[in-house]
Chain A
Amino acid sequence: MRRLILGVLGWMLVWGAVVWAGEITLLGAGATFPYPLYSKWFYIYHQKTGVKVNYQSIGSGGGIRQILARTVDFGASDAPMNDEELSKAPAPILHLPMTIGAVVISYNLPGVPSGLRLTPEVLADIFLGKIKRWNDPRITEVNPGKRLPALPIVVVHRSDGSGTTYNFTYYLSRVSPEWRKRVGYGKAVRWPAGIGGKGNEGVTGYLKQLPGAIGYIELAYAYQNRLPVAAIRNRAGRFVLPTLKSISAAARTHIPPDTRVLIADTDAPDGYPISALTWILVYKEQAYGGRSYERAKALVDLLWWCVHEGQAYNESLLYARLPENVVRIDEKLICSITYRGKPIRRCK
């Protein structure tokens, strides 16, 4: 009898350990922009390894707040943490780029398909309200052979605060001193001209409905609604259409070791100039708040998978793949993650 009880107890113990080890659930929170990609990644990762990842898309600001409060295993943000935010952190935080997004310029011009060419200066002056008609000589001179109508330009921008607006206005501030002085950049700005639409879907709606409209939206919205997109002249002087390839290429430039950089106005020769990285944020030292080694190891393995195998799922969901140089930096950063001072993943 006693043997039986011991046997049952032992069996329960072993199974409990097995089940418990397989039951690690990692917690993450933050940016909404990469949410569709992350949920696909984490779904597939769960199928393959049994490790569950619970990701809440509460916005980049929320992701930064949660990782600072150490209530999640990783945060996610479309904007790098600034020095002030990093100084609030109880320990060093690493920024790991996961994918690249782009802001595309779309328009409603009867008879003009994708590929209208715009220089950064012309783009800034359109959004400043200084270029008022589509047949303005400054637009026609870079679009030889295209017949542009004498329609008035209707600028459409986001009316709600958003990371898309942040990236777009940051780009305009980089390329136009006048924009930097008169408007500046942020999630919401004082627009010199135009109509405000709520959300990507609001701007898309106005773009479809108003002849002569021009606006900025995320790549996926332009693709799904089959809206024409403009080719923007990059720093190398090439007019580049936003494609998954050219957006990926935008990050093939100098990225600092901590990856806290905005790649808008990239100097990569075939890169699309209004692109931006999106990051996952983790602590460099994983032994905090009673976390187990297994948990830290599971997180490191997940991150390693995301920047390697995970990248294969990016393009079907209209997210650009990380280029080689960024993957190398990610590898170096992931290998620098420690548990009680010892690296978790052995790297060459």
Chain B
Amino acid sequence: MAVKKKSIGTLLLGEWNTQTIVGVALGAALFGVLMVYGGIPVFTNTKLSSAYIVPVIVGALFGPLPAALAAFIGNVFADLLGGWGFWFDWSIGNAVAGFVVGLLPLYGANIKAGVFGVKHAIIYTVLAILGTALAFGVVTPLFTLMFFGGELTITYLQAQAAVISDASVFVVVGLPILFALAARYKSQQGLKMEDADDTQGKA
């Protein structure tokens, strides 16, 4: 069965239907919850936070743009729940990181069909590191400068910390989960009801 190859544009945009909207919404909620309730603070506004797997999953399921949105909205939720004020420079950075990390469908990884091999893992890792560096090393400081002006040194320090900690979360936590999810989805495919010839039974 030949499937029409999707254009880069469509892939970048991701799938948009009601499921996507709900997916982003719940993803953002999960992001917010995890960011505030799960993790260790490393440096002021930065935490080693498990929240970052959310854009990975949303990206894997729906595409990079939804992932970016989930990260952005999720970050705003986290700021709301945590009560430390809204910092949109970081929220935008998060969105960029989410976008890059959510690029999975672009290079052939299809979690819903259970496709995620070593090749994909390598691309993912490289992208995760580059994306985080871009997002928090360049984009966020840029916006901090624009919004707040004159805090460059401190922001840079925070940025380094963020890049290191978030990239490591993306890789160390993200990879196993991607593999596990792919395995879970894969095992749900191509199942046949094995009645008479299967001694291993049903429920």
Q: Do A and B bind each other?
A: no
Q: Which A residues have a C-beta under 8 Å from some C-beta of B?
A: none
Q: Which B residues have a C-beta under 8 Å from some C-beta of A?
A: none
